[in-house]
Amino acid sequence: MCAAKVPFFNYPALYKNDEENLLAVMRDVCSRGAYILQKDLQQFENDVATYLKVKHAIGLADGTNALILGLQAMGIGAGDEVIAPSHTFIASVSSIKLAGAIPVLADCGEDSLIDPSSVEKLITPKTKAIMPVHLNGRTCAMDPLLNLARKHNLKIIEDAAQAFGSKFKGQSAGTFGACGTFSFYPAKALGCFGDGGALVTNDDAIAAKVKLLRDHGRNADGLVVCWGTNSRLDNLQAAILAHKLKNFDHDLIRRRELAGFYDRYLSEIKDLNLPPGPKSDDHFDSYQNYELQSGSRDKLRDFLAEKGIGSVIQWGGKAVHQFHDLGDFQAVKLPKTERFFERCFMLPMHSALTNDDVLHIINSVREFYSLKPVSALE
Ligand SMILES: *Cc1c(COP(=O)(O)O)cnc(C)c1O
């Protein structure tokens, strides 16, 4: 029997599985004509703040703008250095440039996340902030980064675009530093039907500043009190997100179950480096992505493609410092990051995957490595 195709991501299924409820949400918002800075946005912001146990959540146009506005609200700009990992999406680093500051790129550690010892070597008198990026739904081990920040009087802005619902030692990603940012891009674990983002903070001054910046510098009376931009989260998207947030824990459980299956049936393969399984102590991973490493990556991906299974190499297969056309990082060498990008790729991971889909993926990988198939997921 030929198993069904398993695309890497499945937008239509995620909509179809909840179509009636989603349409009801949209009908409600549109029949009220409630599009910009309305009560659904406020409700969603309150829900996010409660869910993450943080004082303020502010809906923004997207995750990239959340980073730019966060840096601006922290007073970071011309002449300031911000240390970020090179293993990240370009938006983490472009936000530093667009805020007028200087990005400085750190290597990753064995966990493929920003390496605190690499960060420490890059600190100069100009360094103002560290930007940890919680990739793939795993929160960076925050203790050494918080210690470094304390020791050198630096701020932390967390790019938690991939880590909504992820925790380290029981605390939510995005809530450790001065502020943290999220993306609700459609493929993110909590995704809307277009672009969306948020910034969270426990700092009243940062929250107040970001609220001004996102709405042309206008205060509650409509008076312009500083330069700002337009970076509001649409009220319609906020209503959809508030609806999805109600079911988000259920999605997380499913993602973690899927990661558990991959872990159980692929960990005996020596050629693969899997991400940590869902049982690790200090980390509660949300498995935004299931990114693994293989010494035979390209052949394995071709084999999976023949089996109808989609896989992806993130970001064109390059770390930020490897985009030479940028002209900023010509001399930068980051051996661990470069090695990671020679071996990494992602298997399908989303809540619309069926157990049959995952069994087909697992058995296809096992077949590539000449292992017996498993008959059922347990
Ligand atoms: C998705 C993402 C962003 C940007 O989010 P947008 O909402 O697409 O602007 C930033 N950083 C990382 C690590 C991301 O994965």
**Contact partners, residue 210, CB within 8 Å, separation at least 6:** 58, 60, 69, 70, 73, 179, 199, 201
pLDDT in tens, 91-146: 999 999 999 999 999 999 999 999 999 999 999 999 999 999 999 999 999 999 99
Residues of the chain with pLDDT under 50: 1
CA of 21 to the centre of ligand 1 (A): 27
For the record, the structure tokens of 225 come out as 């009190």
How far is the C-alpha of 145 from the C-alpha of 154, rounded, in Å? Answer: 10
In DSSP notation, 307-375 reads: TTB--B-GGGG--GGG-GGG-S-TT---HHHHHHHHHEEEE---TT--HHHHHHHHHHHHHHTT-PPPS
Buried b (16+ CB within 10 A) or exposed e, 170-180: eebbbbbbbbb
CA 71–ligand 1 middle distance (angstroms):
15
β strands within 30-172, DSSP E? 56-60, 81-85, 102-106, 127-130, 155-159, 167-168, 171-172
- pLDDT over 90, % of the chain: 98
Angle between helices 248-266 and 355-368 (to 10 degrees): 30
User: 160 alpha carbon to ligand 1 midpoint, in Å?
Assistant: 8
What pTM, to 2 d.p., does this model score? 0.97
Give kind and range of the element (H or E) at residue 46: helix 39-52
Atom in ligand 1 nearest the alpha carbon of residue 91: 10
Q: Long-range pairs for 186-189 at CB < 8 Å and ≥24 separation?
A: 186/11, 187/9, 187/11, 187/350, 188/161, 188/162, 188/164, 188/288, 189/137, 189/162, 189/164, 189/165, 189/248, 189/251, 189/252, 189/255, 189/286, 189/287, 189/288
Closest-lying ligand 1 atom to the alpha carbon of residue 162: 15
For residue 1, what pLDDT is reported? 45
**Pocket of ligand 1 contains residue 45 by CB under 6 Å:** no
pLDDT at residue number 281: 85
Strands of 179-183's sheet, edge to edge?
A: 56-60, 197-201, 179-183, 155-159, 127-130, 81-85, 102-106
Atom of ligand 1 nearest to the CA of 159: 11
Q: CB–CB of 208/153 below 8 Å? A: no
Contact in structure between 156 and 149 (CB atoms under 8 Å): yes
Residue nearest to atom 13 of ligand 1 (CA): 89
